[in-house]
Structure 1
Amino acid sequence: MPIVERDLHGWSLAGSAKPGESLTSFSLKSSSSATFQGFTFTLSFPLANAYRVFVTGPDRPAPPHDNVIYKGEQDAGCPFTIRSIDEQKCQAVLAFPNQSPTHLDGAGRERELHLEWSESLLLNVWETNRNGKVRLIGDLPGRSYAMTEHGMIRHWWIERNNLHVGLGERAAPLDLTSRSFTMTGTDGACYDAYEGDPLYKHTPFLISTPRPEPGDGPESLPSTYAIYHPTNSVATWDIGRWHDDPWGYHKTFVQDWGGLEEWVLVGKGVKEVVRTFGELVGMPKLVPRDWLGYLASGMGLGESDKPIAQELLSTWPDLCKKHDIPCSAMHLSSGYTVGEDGNRYTFHMNTRRYPDFKGMIKLFHKAGIKIVPNIKPYMLDSHEAYDKLHAANALFHDPWTKNPVKTRIWSSAVGVTGKGGWVDMTSPEGRQWWADGVQSLIDLGCDGMWNDNDEYHLHDDAFICRNDMPVNMRNAVKGETNIGLMGRMLNTEMMGKISHDTLIKNNPDRRPFIVTRSGNVGTFKYVASTWSGDNETSWKNLRGSQAIQLNAGLSLMQSYGSDIGGFGGPLPTPEMFTRWVQLGVTHSRFCIHSFKPNKVDPSGAGATNTPWMYPEVLPIIREAIKWRYEFLPYFNSLMWSSHLEAEPTNAPLMYGDFASDANLFSEESLNGFDAWIGAGRLLSAPALFEGLLSREVYFPKSSPKDTSLYFDLHAPYGSHAAGSRAIVSTPLEHMGLFAREGSVIPIGKSVNTVTQTQGPARTTHDGVDVVLESEGGVVALDDWRGVLIFPGEAGQYSGEWIEDDGISTKPSVSTIHVSYSATKDKVTVKAQWKEHGFKPLWGDKIHIMLPYRDERKVEGAEQVMRGERKLWFVSVS
């Protein structure tokens, strides 16, 4: 259906302004016709490197939301200067606020906003850099701001040569240019990782960054910008796919309901606009350390009736021990909620399948395995609480029939649905029902919550929600409101909040953990982790999962992964499963999860992907999972960087210091699968095609003069120069993995570990102590720390990482700074406590490890051996 587009036009200056005047906002009013009377356009600078636009009218209220947490704009904001103004010609030039030399936006680049309003509004931002004066972002003349039936539409010029990334969870490839996307969430089970849209999340945050020319240095690049619309309404983004003469190619944002709130963030690169986005909406939650290891799951385990699910699940710790597979958590699928009629009833306990649910959890806790149960925000009309919630007006209502909304919801077997509805979390009674249910699971010993099926895919914008909210909504509307304006996923956010608040209420000193399948931007104020939903087993979807991972990370979903081996479809082949595990252990979230209704796997665990399901590749799978645990101190520190600085654990190669490398913007690179695990430190080069035993790898450059080395972490342990290409070996036993010269990588033991001998890291909230190795268990103390360093033939290097107990809500933190220098004959290392609030079990001794085949001596350190590997003791001073 074509978009009905009514251009907004005929504006006049609201108030007075004169050259040289310093203002905090610039406003225009629509005055030319009765149609647009009462519309206002307001431009302000809440941040020194961001401006905000509001366009609202009598029937276009500003979008209600609480997605923006930044409070500074409630004060005076950042004043800007009117450089020139001509009310007769309806033109003004506004200067960006003065930039601080230390501000992340970067000093020395003069920017102006040119505003015209003689007919339609026209806003262009110009920047002066080494290449002269260039347009950074500009509106499409005559079509910049317009109305749709209930909402707004925006058109801009498109920089056809720019790279566009972000928008949350988007199908591959990484580059979003010349594509269109729907901003809403849906249950996209078994989606195509290259074609699927929409998927599960709602993230209207688009980044546009310039592509460098060969020989460009970082100082030559124009700035990067991002556009963010905090609305929860359904919307669409078209990024240059729309070609419409006489305007040509352009990019377009269509918002279904409400007036427009638009933020434009400016920075020196993708890294800096992502950081600003984090400051605006909230940095990613700090993930508990227990959820950084192998996360087990599987619907086949929890669905079993013969043997009953509890008997089957209770063998899991012993199976992990038997196969020597460390495991940190078990996702308990919704089979525990199945009633006698075979349907799922949220917060109902199937006592036939689980006669002693609490005892089963204690068994897992002794093995160091946390439990997170699946909970769903909908109910069949046969649910025992349905009538109560109906009577309390805690269900969505149809404004025409005045009855609760009933739709088809997944109820039992795959493809089987029943009649029911979603619980309205904007109602106090709906939230209380959710809190009571979460509380019941906490009382049984559950450690976190798995908010699932929470897309709220109601099919009519006119459906009514209560809109009785427990948070301060910006631009709040009063009373019962249609979900078109409020946004479906505001309910997803409230689910996350109530799960979060209930966990905190019970265990205020423990870091809460919630994983969600869906979410708007506000959801992640409360939810620590998410994943790419119900994917399907195929090589194509394995490959596509990497680009989805990277765009999600750039959109602040930085504890993210895919269901390893594929959720739906056939069982993966041994080779495919191995490659998926090898990729998955490099991601910020590593979970093997599936539902395979068409075949029973060889392990006897039902239709479930398990690490040991193919004995012929079990040694390779085991090695990959143990690698994840060995590198867990590194991943823990990366999650701290995410929490503090909005740095994604998994980043595209052109991120950060590498934005000037033109090779990283080629189609070959952008359509490829290589990525950083910690930008500028570890380079992953996965093998994602069947039978791929070797492949070419390009090694990124941070500048045209960069000569850094990349050290191969697998045999033959060679090195490669930045800017070079090489054919590397990728036998089934491993993918490509390289450390950049100068890196500092902390590692630990290759088993599940705890950071305390006593306390919350050792004792679960139900009072169960983890059984340690010394007591016959499989969990070790985190009492050894190695540090991988990568010196060249000569040079000086430094790096640091963060340690904490991994469990506390307000943890004490230690930061260890390592500096080292190298000559042809020796390496000198110095380690210092930058902060020393947390006292790690490894004390003050770290073990320095040089690259394989590097026989240089570490000066001033004591040499020891660990297996066949030479190490050196160094004290942290």
Structure 2
Amino acid sequence: MVYVERELSSFQLAAGAPSAGATATSFSLVSSPKAPFKDFVYTLEFPLANALRVTLTGPDRPLPPHDNVVLKTAPVEFTIALLNERTCEAVIPFPQPGNTPDLDGAHKARELRLNWADSILLEIWEDDGAGGKVRVCGDLASRSYALTEHGVMRHWWIERDNLHLGLGEKAGPIDLTGRSFQITGSDSACYDAYETDPLYKHTPFLVSTPRAVEGRQPRSTYAIYHATNSNALWDIGRHHDDPWGYFKTFTQDWGGLEEWYLFGKGVKEVTRTWAEIVGKPMLVGRDWLGYLASGMGLGESDEPIAQELLSQWPALCKKHDIPCSAIHFSSGYTVDPETGNRNVFTMNTKRYPDFKGLVGGLHKAGIKVVPNIKPYMLNIHPQYAKVHDNDGLFYDDHLKAPAQTRIWSSGIGCNGKGSWVDMTSPAGRQWWADGVKSLIDAGMDGMWNDNNEFSLHDDEFLAHNDFPHAFVSPAAPGKAKVGLLGRMINTEMVAKTSHDTLLAANPERRPYVLTRSGNVGAFKYACGTWTGDNETSWKNLRGSQPIQLNCGISLMQSTGSDIGGFGGPLPSPELFVRWVQLGVTHARFCIHAFKPSKDDPSGASATNTPWMYPAVLPVIRDAIKWRYAFLPYFNSLMWGSHDDAEPTNAWLGWGEFASDPNVYTDKVLNGFDAWIGAGQLLSVPALHEGELTRDVYLPKASASDTSLYFDLHSPHGQYAAGTTVSIATPLEHMGLLAREGAAIPIGKNYHTVTQRTGPARTTPDGVDIELEEDGGVVGLDDFRGLLIFPGEKGGYTRTWTEDDGISRAPARADIEVTYTAGAEITVAAQFTVHDFKPLWGRALHVFLPLGDVRVVKGAKAVERDGRVAYVVDVL
């Protein structure tokens, strides 16, 4: 992409700018009256003590309209240490005394140096630990700010040795350095997980973190966030241009800048700070953490009809002993039986003669239902004229008509003429809300917002620009250009309308909205996402892991991939097993596909199902049941995500492990191991064909860390932190290690409910889930085990959280366990918060590592699932 780049320069102090030694909450420059570009204003402030906000606006460059930022605190006051107006420079120390926040774990004295003698030059310096200063980040001299046709271009010098992470959903590998990325959403069906860009999300949040080097004090980690919905481009040192050499560039297509700098100790601190600015991840309902079934092949069937196939799903799960928590209804239910086209929010009564009855039957079996909905209309849609007449469609000012384009309508590669619904208009939102309400009335438990990238191929299309909430800088009333508003505000509005309609219908329940696309603001309303329509291959299986980890850094922490691959050929049995084994370690676990060839030589069905390969069904079953046994752990991890922005799946350098130089080596960094809850479980997946063993590096939390790692599959597997060891990964299981001091709550290895009565037992349509004691397959969550991993000596404390898994404002129980290692193990547990009363009461079954013959002092030994457990009362 080529841009016209016009350098911005000739700035001077704004009227009323603070003098040296003065205290202020902002500092501003204005372009000189003699400058080529007049009336541009540059302002900086500190919304948090470790976060700097810069804005740059001009006559035709307004602040980007958005509501992606939720932080409401007043800017922090700062004092200018040096202001030399003649040489055009200012120095601002930060954090200011008394304002060092818990968010900034680095606790370093920094200073902001600003020079505007030529172009604006902003740099951040900090103490280097040896009495000097080191530059953390800074603008590219004489080329920092420039204008493009409608937007702004930014250049910085690049830390070539740093890792660059984040940007949401970006193709692997995890380190983004030396590459360039489009910041936009695209329907990237059957993408390459290492090559394709863009994918589905719009996340202009880039982290730069130094590699740990032995004997050198690391610089702070920092992140840059652009609060805009405009399309953009991030180049992270791919472009080389003398005399500047390598640098990094952000090019925003439309509008002025709102740019945030965040500083802290490692990736964990800046991610946590960003969550304060844009909002922490939503709390996901417990049932959405189990096995989520799906399959277009079932919902598209005319003979036998789809309802017949889907109604058999609970029986098939019971026959094959596969627990299942929810099923997705693909858009086949909306297909017009005469034309074969999808008309959103309509019903194919031939395929689904009793839709509500089908849903009720699934509910009785404990399976929640979420339908696929899409924010566009073919021009033959029965409500197209009504929405058009009420100004609910985007407008093409050149043709003086609704903006029309080609949209996906029926089978693979098929499209029809239609329009995206303008969700910035009251009519568009009302159409969507009415449709969502009709599905809620049919018994739906949540909404699956799909195909919502708003692929409008002209920035000049006009949107209604009427929003139900305040923007940071709302555009003028009336129509606004899509380029300035950004397509993704519509994706956010789709999520908000789905969320609000669900909440209005069932205010006591946690709304569940799944979204394929999204901007930063969309995740205030959508609690789940996935990495879109991937393609079946070993390469794409491997690539799904770095995508997952960058999503976690970018606050999309309830995500996963379509297990087995959405498009392309059916996976081989081995590939399918390995994808399931990886998928059960991710926050969202969904087997979903559309395999159009029903004559596949393997004889398998036209979709991915757990039982499609009888020879490996026992292995698939074991992996899914492992997921259910560990559901209390995943539920607690989602609380950690919601409370503290901790990703469920984290890269090996997360938190305290950032100090380990070995996690930055190419072999480890470009491998596929990841934390499932940092510092507790280490996932060691086998992602290459025929890979029966894996070399794995065991991260150290500090140079003196002597912790052990325990192989969950071997009684002899105990290894020292900081070493590389070989782990068995036979087809029967993935590699899984626990770090010394972990405490992992577990439950039954099948679907359970947390209440005998109430919203966890009764679905919104009034159907009671049938319990196993009454002939069903769903049990009660009345058993709690705890896996602990003591070393030879030492004391350890961990806490986990439980709730009913469904309430919008849930009561919670926080359980703290402390255990001490010696010749015997002592274990004490207590409720530090006990507002929620779990069905398992106070009896905690404690399991020691495989091969550990010590006993838990004072606890009764019982046999459970072929192992010895020690029953401890929780106080």
Instruction: Give the structure-2-normalised TM-score.
Output: 0.98
Whether 1:327 aligns to 2:330 is no
Counterpart position of 1:718:
717
Counterpart position of 1:594:
593
Give the partner amino acid of 1:71.
K
Q: Distance in 2 between matches of 1:221 and 1:163?
A: 13
Moved more, 57-66 or 859-868: 859-868
Counterpart position of 2:366:
368
Counterpart position of 1:424:
422
Q: Is the 8 Å Cα contact of residues 673 and 685 (structure 1) preserved in structure 2? A: yes
Q: Is the 8 Å Cα contact of residues 715 and 849 (structure 2) preserved in structure 1? A: no
Counterpart position of 2:56:
55
Q: Distance in 2 between matches of 1:2 and 1:592?
A: 41
SS at match of 2:212: coil
Q: Deviations over 1:364-419 (max 9, x none)?
A: 00110000000000010000011111111110111111111111110001101100
Counterpart position of 1:293:
290
Counterpart position of 1:275:
272
Deviation at 1:615, TM superposition (A): 0.2
SS at match of 2:288: helix
Counterpart position of 1:753:
752
Q: Distance in 1 between matches of 2:626 and 2:51?
A: 41
Q: Is the 8 Å Cα contact of residues 190 and 535 (structure 1) preserved in structure 2? A: yes
Q: Is the 8 Å Cα contact of residues 602 and 614 (structure 1) preserved in structure 2? A: no
Counterpart position of 1:405:
403
Give the partner amino acid of 1:686.
P
Deviation at 1:457, TM superposition (A): 1.1
SS at match of 1:826: coil
Counterpart position of 2:8:
8
Q: Is the 8 Å Cα contact of residues 715 and 851 (structure 2) preserved in structure 1? A: no
Moved more, 29-38 or 629-638: 29-38
Counterpart position of 1:173:
173
Q: Distance in 2 between matches of 1:450 and 1:576?
A: 27
Q: Distance in 2 between matches of 1:744 and 1:787?
A: 6
Give the partner amino acid of 1:27.
S
Q: Distance in 2 between matches of 1:752 and 1:600?
A: 34
Deviation at 1:668, TM superposition (A): 1.0
Deviation at 1:868, TM superposition (A): 2.1
Between the two proteins, what is the percent identity of the paired residues? 66
Match of 1:470 among 468, 476, 481: 468
SS at match of 2:795: strand
Q: Is the 8 Å Cα contact of residues 17 and 27 (structure 2) preserved in structure 1? A: no
SS at match of 2:268: helix
Q: Distance in 2 between matches of 1:319 and 1:16?
A: 72
SS at match of 1:727: strand
Counterpart position of 2:230:
233
SS at match of 2:529: strand
Instruction: Give the structure-1-normalised TM-score.
Output: 0.98
Q: Deviations over 1:118-154 (max 9, x none)?
A: 1200000000142431101110001111100000010
Q: Distance in 2 between matches of 1:138 and 1:170?
A: 25
Counterpart position of 1:162:
162
In the TM superposition, 1:301-380 aligns within 5 A as: 301-339=298-336, 340-380=338-378
Whether 1:799 aligns to 2:798 is yes
Q: Structure 1: any 5+ residue segments left out of the alignment?
A: none
Deviation at 1:716, TM superposition (A): 4.6
Counterpart position of 1:775:
774
Counterpart position of 1:249:
246
Counterpart position of 2:82:
84
> How many residues in Structure 1 have an aligned counterpart in Structure 2?
870
Q: Deviations over 1:420-472 (max 9, x none)?
A: 01000000010000000000000000000000000001001000000011111
Q: Distance in 1 between matches of 2:525 and 2:221?
A: 29
SS at match of 2:762: coil
In the TM superposition, 1:386-401 aligns within 5 A as: 386-401=384-399
Counterpart position of 1:688:
687
Moved more, 107-116 or 276-285: 107-116
Q: Is the 8 Å Cα contact of residues 685 and 736 (structure 1) preserved in structure 2? A: yes
Q: Is the 8 Å Cα contact of residues 446 and 511 (structure 2) preserved in structure 1? A: yes
Q: Distance in 2 between matches of 1:648 and 1:90?
A: 43
Counterpart position of 2:544:
545
Counterpart position of 2:38:
37
Q: Is the 8 Å Cα contact of residues 281 and 521 (structure 1) preserved in structure 2? A: yes
Deviation at 1:32, TM superposition (A): 5.0
Deviation at 1:104, TM superposition (A): 2.0
CA change 1:102–1:276 in 2 (3 A) is closer
Deviation at 1:214, TM superposition (A): 3.0
Q: Distance in 1 between matches of 2:98 and 2:305?
A: 65
Counterpart position of 1:135:
135
Give the partner amino acid of 2:280.
M
Q: Is the 8 Å Cα contact of residues 714 and 850 (structure 2) preserved in structure 1? A: no
Deviation at 1:604, TM superposition (A): 8.7
Moved more, 391-400 or 130-139: 130-139
Counterpart position of 2:71:
70
In the TM superposition, 1:387-536 aligns within 5 A as: 387-478=385-476, 479-536=478-535
Moved more, 554-563 or 662-671: 662-671
Q: Deviations over 1:216-259 (max 9, x none)?
A: 6xxx3211100000100000000011111111110000000000
Give the partner amino acid of 2:395.
H
Deviation at 1:98, TM superposition (A): 2.8
Whether 1:208 aligns to 2:208 is yes
How large is the Cα RMSD of the aligned pairs? 1.2
Q: Distance in 2 between matches of 1:101 and 1:119?
A: 33
In the TM superposition, 1:789-868 aligns within 5 A as: 789-823=788-822, 825-868=823-866
Q: Is the 8 Å Cα contact of residues 50 and 100 (structure 2) preserved in structure 1? A: no
Q: Distance in 1 between matches of 2:475 and 2:284?
A: 34
Moved more, 119-128 or 712-721: 712-721
Q: Deviations over 1:736-784 (max 9, x none)?
A: 1000000010000000000000000000011100000100000000000
Deviation at 1:735, TM superposition (A): 1.2
Deviation at 1:102, TM superposition (A): 5.8
CA change 1:364–1:108 in 2 (3 A) is closer
SS at match of 2:395: coil
SS at match of 1:266: strand
Counterpart position of 1:189:
189
Q: Distance in 1 between matches of 2:164 and 2:643?
A: 25
Q: Distance in 2 between matches of 1:386 and 1:494?
A: 19
Q: Structure 2: any 5+ residue segments left out of the alignment?
A: none
Q: Distance in 1 between matches of 2:314 and 2:140?
A: 61
SS at match of 1:36: coil
CA change 1:604–1:696 in 2 (3 A) is closer
Counterpart position of 1:637:
636
SS at match of 2:327: strand
Give the partner amino acid of 2:223.
A
Q: Distance in 2 between matches of 1:46 and 1:766?
A: 45
Q: Is the 8 Å Cα contact of residues 67 and 472 (structure 2) preserved in structure 1? A: yes
Deviation at 1:525, TM superposition (A): 0.2
Q: Deviations over 1:35-61 (max 9, x none)?
A: 311100001011111010000000100
Deviation at 1:106, TM superposition (A): 3.2
Q: Distance in 2 between matches of 1:288 and 1:140?
A: 46
CA change 1:797–1:414 in 2 (3 A) is same
Give the partner amino acid of 1:849.
F
Q: Is the 8 Å Cα contact of residues 191 and 533 (structure 2) preserved in structure 1? A: yes
Give the partner amino acid of 2:606.
A
SS at match of 1:361: helix
Give the partner amino acid of 2:836.
F
Q: Is the 8 Å Cα contact of residues 100 and 107 (structure 1) preserved in structure 2? A: no
Q: Distance in 1 between matches of 2:865 and 2:682?
A: 26
Counterpart position of 1:731:
730
